Structure 1
């Protein structure tokens, strides 16, 4: 086989072997390794290698015979210094390495003696782990056996001392890469739960300090390796990052209906790897802990100390299990509750039994114990242990439909199921502030149960699923109704607060209807709203959003208590700033700019722009900010007493922004030429074309949101000119902006526009059709 043909031959072999059979991966990779071995043996024979005293060995994926289609080759030339001199060793190395490079194959290489392998394994942890995979390709087999036995003996001899270093290595990588199971673009090799962690698990087993469930780890490694093979076959590159652009093709090649189905399959494998790594590390640490576990008795009667708790719960060897002799119906749930409260792990046998138990509705006492599980400080750790065995789906009807489902929103950090558990944990901070903390925890657990494949409105579709799950968990019909309401409306409060005009009575009325005019439900919804947002990720919650949500919640409390006949316009600090800007505009007749003192702990600055209202003012203000390269995180655009007074929240401190005088001068110039078409052209880089359906803008009419204006929402991928382009489109259609509410969530911008015609009336149907089409074009530009 000519050397230059190797990369193409490798790809051809993998594609020819195919992916249709899910069990074909291991044999395909073995055959692939044999193909590369054959090529390397040919190089060895042509290099004039000696009959003994030298050998070519493989490590890494080639050493394990799980090589990817275009993965690098990791090779070691082993020599016996007593038989092979330095010059001969260098000549042989050159005869081997240069043909590999000339073929276009990436190569990591080393020239060592068996003694040097032992020394390197002692000094370099990463090298020690990789040398555990040392495998003969060609040459002196005894030399490879000698090097391999030295490395393994060194590894086992030093394992007790180096276990902490190995754990630190895995944890450092996890901090840098994150969890594979929850990544929208997972790195199949380096993310937590990826192929590198499989290598660490197997290295721990080689130390004889800890073993693992071999079928589980081997099965998960097969899933991850199949995905890597398909990715490299699709891209022709040695990449292990499964980017969005390649996910559909990789899913199809691996036999999955959609990219989301494939990501869920990968998440399942990654969670299994993460769990087995956790178990292995825990076992290795226990084996090396000074004195070992607490014991009782002496001599041959010496055994681990055992503590019995109520309901048949046992704590032994720092694990939680259940006494099978106990017939207490709360036994297993009580064991889980103790693990969630204490942080101690559940014993493997207990997990297996929980996963195998038939699903049965909870009695009231079991329901209450389950709520205790949710209230545990270590609920995340307990959930991951239970989830790996599939136990949670036996307790909660509908859970299987969201387990490991990926989230396409850039705001979210976790899969759907794990996000719900994170929401439960975030809800802990509100347990003392609501009248029914049990309903808050269960609503947090079930709020995204409708986020399954092909769901159109996950909140509406999830409500009946949550109600069925709540009944199964033992709640009565009144409580089931409240949980259903919370799930159905869990997005309502934040959507109204950040995306609607708080001065419009329709906004408050919509919230009151959502909570059935019940103060208790309102407080539960307020707590769930914040817990859900914080659990999603940093981009979903901020001081600004919190203030708006609190303000609208306050309006609703007042209305329900009968203490407020009319809604307050805005928070007091904002009103005072607006009044100052309005007064300055009236005095000077032109634009005015004010940077209020920041009250936020975040690096966010408010800019208040004011000018006499009229067509194109909103667009002029948006263009000024775009030209100044000022990113808008949130905005409230209003007209008060014929003055456009718009508040914009932007990242950075006042020192990072142009001086208010410079910004006012720029706004004056923009207002003077707002009728000129050339002035509306922004010299900004165009937006990249949409890569996926997620990048396509969505423009939606919100009927009934206001009686005084037509309300339209623009949801699009954010870019510097988006708001200015949207505002320019409104000006071209000669519409007025009664108010606007702008926010940025991750890479998405959500702008809610209250539009009227030139006479201040809501738009008629033809005008609505024209502006929606125009906004679609503007958002997609």
Structure 2
């Protein structure tokens, strides 16, 4: 086979063999490996012709996926040219290597290669852990088979001989991956190879088994390996490249090729496999560490009577060999939840046998005493580790009604880091900081645990649909009817506070009335909602919460508190710079009757700067200000647009420190030019490259009318894929239609921009229905450009 045909043959073969049979993956990968083996043997024979005198004493061997005979359709090749220096000289070895490597490179195949003797393989394996693990897969391809067999035997023998001292290195390697990579189970664009729970972790698990210090559940790991390798094969078949990151653009095609109805369904299967791998790695490492511990774990007794020390705790909980288990003879109703509480509060793992038994237990609604112990577990700092152990055995889904529907469910919002189920656990962990600030910490923790139960497939409004699910789950967890209703209220409204604070006009009385309605005009519920709001946002990811967003949420919360207490809200301290800048701009515009620009004091804990722009209001002013920021290449993070006494005062938060921004005089000059030409259509054109085409349905814009949000204006929300000119295009559309912007609230969430616009006609009145229809359609066109 000509070498240049190899890449196309590999892709063609895997597509011809197909993915219809889920069990065909291993045989398909064997066929791929056989195809490449045959090609490499042909190259070896040709190399022998090019290097006269080459006999025994040299061999071509494979490591990596080819060494394991699990090659993907575009996987890189990892090859080792083994030589015996006594029989093959350095010059002859170099000629042989060149005769092999160059045809492989010419074929377009990515190659990782080395030339080593048996002794050099031993030495490099002793010095580098990753190489040692890789060489465990050494497999003969061509040439001197005995040389490969001897090298593999020596490498394995040394690995087992030195395994005790290398366990710590393996633990460090796993910890390093934890720091450098995310969890495959929770990633929106997972790396099938490098993320935690991926193919590299499977290699480490099997390397530990080769050390004979610990073993693993082969059936579980083999099944997970098949799932991950099938996804890798499909990804490489779709892209024609050797990458292992499953990007959003390829997820639908990969899901279809692997026989899944949707990308979300496929992600759930991948997450399940990755969690199983992560758990097996954890178990295998712990077993290896226990095997090398002097005398094992803490022990008692002597001689043949020596056994691990055992500590008995209340409710039948036992700590033995560094693990939490239970006394099987105990009939204490709190036994299992007490064991989980101890694991969540101490960080000690739950024993495998205990988890297996919990998975088989009949689950009944919790009694109040069991509920209280479970709440204590939710307050434990090691809750996430305990949850992963319970989840991988299917225990948590049996304990919490509705959990199985959101387990491993990916989040398509760019601000989210975790799957739905793990996000709820992270929200509980964040909520722990607020336990001393609310009157019912138990309700806060359980609401955090249940708040996204509505994020099921095809859900339209997960908050509204999740409320009855959370109420039913709370009843099952032992809460009475009144508390369950409060939990349902918090779940239904868990997005309300941040949505109103950042997306509505806080000066509009309707905004406060909507908040008070959401919390049933109850102060305790308001405090719980405030805590839940921050915990939920921080758990989602760094782009979902910021100082300015916290200030707006706190300001609206203060308004709600004072309304419920009958007191008056004082201006928030951190909002003072914004207000003082607005007042200064107002005064300067009144004096000069011209545009003004002021930079308030910078935020000291975020790389975000604030600009306050003001000008006499009129048609096109908002659009002119938006164009200025685009022309100056300022990335808008959020904005609040308002009109006060005939003056447009717009506050913008942009990415970067003040040192990165142009001088205020530059911004003012640019604004003067835009305002002077705001009536000239040709001068308003932004010379920007076109936006990339829509690739997924998630990129499609959504324009929504918000009825009842204001009595004085028509409120429209534009939710669209962000781009530099989006806000300017939206503002220009409003100007062309002769409408006024009474206020606007702009924010960027990941790759989406969410703009809430308070629109009126030229007389300051809410829009009539025909005008609403026209502007909504026009805004859809503008957001789609």
Pick the TM interval, shorter chain: over 0.9
Take 2:505 and 2:616, find their aligned partners in 1: how far apart are those partners? Answer: 20
> Could you tell me whether the CA contact under 8 Å between 1:320 and 1:339 is conserved in 2?
yes
| CA distance in structure 2 between the aligned counterparts of 1:273 and 1:75, rounded to whole angstroms | 27
1:154 aligns with 2:158: yes
Partner of 1:188: helix, strand, or coil? coil
Which residue is equivalent to 1:687? 691
The equivalent of 1:254 in structure 2 is 258
CA drift of 1:775 comes to: 1.0
Query: Could you tell me how far 1:615 is from its partner in structure 2?
Result: 1.2
Q: What residue number does 1:43 align with? A: 43
Distance 1:589 1:511 in 2: 38
Change in CA separation of 1:552 and 1:12 when aligned onto 2, cut-off 3 Å: same
* Separation (CA, whole Å) in 1 of partners of 2:595 and 2:295: 76
**Residues 555 and 568, structure 1, Cα contact 8 Å, conserved in 2:** no
Higher mean displacement: 177-186 or 104-113: 104-113
SS at match of 2:329: coil
Check 1:627–1:87 CA distance in 2 against 1; reply closer, same or farther (3 A cut): closer
Matched-pair contact (CA < 8 Å) for 1:252–1:258? yes
* Equivalent in the alignment of 2:751: 747
Q: Given that residues 551 and 574 in structure 2 are in contact (C-alpha distance below 8 angstroms), is that contact kept between their aligned partners in structure 1?
A: no
In the alignment, does 2:392 pair up with 1:411?
A: no
Change in 2 beyond 3 A, CA 1:74/1:518:
same
The equivalent position to 1:547 in structure 2, one of 546, 551, 564, is: 551
Q: Following superposition of structure 1 onto structure 2, how do residues 306-345 of structure 1 map, counting pairs within 5 Å?
A: 306-345=310-349
Residue in structure 2 matching 1:391, options 375, 395, 399? 395
2:775 to 745, 765, 771: 771
Distance in 2 between residues matched to 1:3 and 1:623, nearest whole Å: 55
C-alpha separation in 1, matches of 2:99 and 2:581: 77
| Counterpart-to-counterpart distance in 1, 2:655 and 2:765 | 35
Root-mean-square deviation over aligned CA pairs: 1.9
669-678 vs 683-692, which moves further: 683-692
Q: Give the 5 Å matches for 1:15-30.
A: 15-30=15-30
Contact persistence 2:677–2:683 (CA under 8 A): yes
- Contact 1:503–1:569 (CA under 8 A) maintained in structure 2: no
- Taking the TM superposition and a 5 Å limit, the aligned residue runs for 1:199-210 are 199-210=203-214
SS in 2 for 1:180: coil
Tell me how far apart the structure 2 counterparts of residues 209 and 115 of structure 1 sit (CA, whole Å): 25
Q: Does 1:437 align with 2:441?
A: yes
Structure 1 position 13 matched with structure 2 position 17: no
SS of 1:279's equivalent?
Answer: helix
Contact 1:430 1:527 in 2 (8 A): yes
The answer to whether the aligner puts 1:487 opposite 2:487 as a matched pair is: no
Shift, 1:569, TM fit: 14
Confirm whether residue 712 of structure 1 aligns to residue 726 of structure 2.
no
The one-character-per-residue Cα deviations of 1:370-394 (angstroms, maximum 9, x if unpaired) are 1111111110111111111111000
SS at match of 1:307: strand
1:578 match: 582
Give the counterpart of 1:119 among 92, 104, 123: 123
In the TM superposition, what is the alpha-carbon distance from 1:47 to its structure 2 partner? 4.0
What does residue 518 of structure 1 align with?
522
* Contact in 2 for aligned 1:622/1:724 (Cα 8 Å): yes
Q: How does 1:477-626 map to 2 (within 5 A)?
A: 477-564=481-568, 571-626=575-630
Cα distance change, pair 78–604 in 1 and its aligned pair in 2 (3 A)? closer
Question: Which TM-score applies when normalising by structure 1?
Answer: 0.97
Number of aligned positions between the proteins: 781
Confirm or deny: 8 A CA contact 1:502 1:570 kept in the other structure: no
| Rounded Cα–Cα distance in structure 1 between residues aligned with 2:250 and 2:39 | 30
Give me the whole-angstrom Cα distance separating, in 2, the residues matched to 1:288 and 1:697.
58
Residue matched to 1:360: 364
**CA distance in structure 1 between the aligned counterparts of 2:573 and 2:757, rounded to whole angstroms:** 18
| Counterpart in the other structure of 1:3 | 3
> Which residue number corresponds to residue 32 of structure 1?
32
* Mapping for residues 642-721 of structure 1, pairs under 5 Å: 642-721=646-725
Post-superposition offset of 1:579? 2.0
Deviations along 1:236-289, whole A, 9 cap, x unmatched?
111111111111111001000001111111111111111212222222233334
Q: Partner of 2:437: helix, strand, or coil?
A: coil
Deviation at 1:223, TM superposition (A): 0.5
Q: Compared with structure 1, are the counterparts of its residues 702 and 505 closer, same or farther at alpha carbon in structure 2 (3 Å cutoff)?
A: same
Cα distance 1:208–1:615, how it changes in 2: closer, same or farther (>3 A)? Answer: same
Matched, 1:57 2:56: no
Q: Is the 8 A contact 2:603 2:609 kept in 1?
A: no
CA distance in 1, matches of 2:230, 2:507: 56
Counterpart contact for 2:58–2:144, Cα < 8 Å: yes
C-alpha separation between the residues in 2 aligned to 1:662 and 1:38? 67
Larger mean Cα displacement after TM superposition, 264-273 or 69-78:
69-78
Q: Does 1:757 align with 2:761?
A: yes
Structure 1 residue runs of 5 or longer lacking an equivalent are: none
Deviates more, 1:520-529 or 1:78-87: 78-87
SS in 2 for 1:117: helix
Moved >4 Å (runs of 4+): 564-573
Structure 2 gaps, min length 5: none
Work out whether 1:269 is the aligned partner of 2:276.
Answer: no
Aligned: 1:375 with 2:379: yes
Q: Secondary structure at the match of 2:38?
A: helix
Q: Distance in 2 between matches of 1:604 and 1:291?
A: 56
The Cα of 1:304 is off from its aligned counterpart by: 1.1
**Partner-residue secondary structure (3-state), 2:35:** helix
Contact 1:204/1:280 (CA < 8 Å) preserved in 2? yes
Matches within 5 A, 1:58-73: 58-73=62-77
CA distance in 2, matches of 1:456, 1:424: 24
| Deviates further, 762-771 or 138-147 | 138-147
**Contact 1:427-1:528 at 8 Å conserved across structures:** yes
CA distance in 2, matches of 1:636, 1:430: 29
Alpha carbons of structure 1 residues 618 and 95: separation in structure 2 relative to 1, 3 Å: closer
CA contact (8 A) 2:184 2:190 kept: yes
Contact 2:81 2:97 in 1 (8 A): yes
Separation (CA, whole Å) in 2 of partners of 1:570 and 1:341: 36
